[in-house]
Structure 1
Amino acid sequence: MTEQEGVIKFQLDFSPQPALSAADVAEINSWRSIMLQLGMLGQTPQRYDNYGFGNISQRFSADNRFIISGTQTGGIVQMRAADYALVTLCQPEQNRIVAVGETKPSSEAMTHGQLYQLSGAINFVIHAHCPQIWQLADALGLAQTRAEVPYGTVAMAQEVARLFRATKVLQQGIFTMAGHEDGVMAFGSSADQAAQRLISVYAAALKRDAVPN
């Protein structure tokens, strides 16, 4: 790997305090459990030098506040409300995130925040790590961020905005991050839609991989 997972690169204004209830995170937590079982996020010695990988978020309000899994929580099997953060302000152009909670937000919070700002129809985002999709992005016809753009940066937020202008990514609801090993972002108007898009492309990748050249 060229980059260590889980490094926060944005300016974070974080207020450590209880911010979310079990009811607030019930839906996102159920889908995180499914993604964990699929190996789309988690933590294992066999991958990425045993750093946690992948994250998940859910729009919390119409003003673009959102709930996101905490940084380096991939190894937690059963998350609690304290393991999520509430991002109250995302300013990609200033490389700034404001958040509250009992754990700091994921290092990919900037990209999640950009997606919520780009479309009010997006209510759920999954940042998965899936080598099968990532390696076959071209063959699967997926939009991709440029290889020189690192994760969790202003440049990545700008690159996502470029994809929205130049590709059909809003309709597809999924893209890969060419400069972030195995990184895949799926989103939708609901958790069901985001997950269905990710799983459908995963199935297509597995099908392609199983067919001999």
Structure 2
Amino acid sequence: MVNLCDPDKPEEKTFAELVKIVKKHLEPAPSEIAERYKFRLRKQELNESVSEYVTALKSLAKKCNFKSTLEENLRDQLVYGLKSDVIKQRLFAETDLTYAKAVELSTNMERAEKEVNLIDKARRCARYNVVFRNQTLRIPEGQLLHRCTIDVITKMAESGNTTRRQQCPPVVPLWKRPANVAVNPTIPANNVFSEMQFVWLARRRGILSLHAHFK
């Protein structure tokens, strides 16, 4: 305590002053420059929504001491850190962009992008279903069959979770099937897929880029 009060003496301080001195020693104020540096580094993460990103920026800004320039700094960092170039270009086109307007436009455009992606995914799935029914695949000898349903594969595509393949276990090895026998990949009534059919459909559902994912 003597060192903390130096050059004054502890007995010359009031209790409130001593508490303040000790608190300042134990809980030093964060470096304003360091906090602003962290604020400037913050960008929207891959799976983070605009709303979540804005909330994170507000939290970081509390320790930056921006004072009257708070909204200006929030606006600039919001635009700088957005992951969507399309949204950025839209914001750049605004001649008098305020923080509130930047948040509103970013949020609305993000929502619109998600809706468009959902519509496109539905159209692709419908198109791939038609292709899947009319294509012929060559299945090598020894290929495994998998019992699965189209619903499971669709859910895998939507969630990006390939572990659902555990729900589609191998059934019968095609040991007796001659090599390169043409097999129509139309979904059979018993929901038994060959390995190649399974991977073929999964790829077109947006699950696979490599066959190795299913080994």
When you count strand as a share of all residues, which structure comes out higher? 1
With the length of structure 1 as denominator, give the TM-score of the two structures: 0.20
When you count helix as a share of all residues, which structure comes out higher? 2
Give the structure with higher Rg (CA). 2
With the length of structure 2 as denominator, give the TM-score of the two structures: 0.20
Of structures 1 and 2, the one scoring higher in RCO (CA 8 A, sep 6+) is: 1
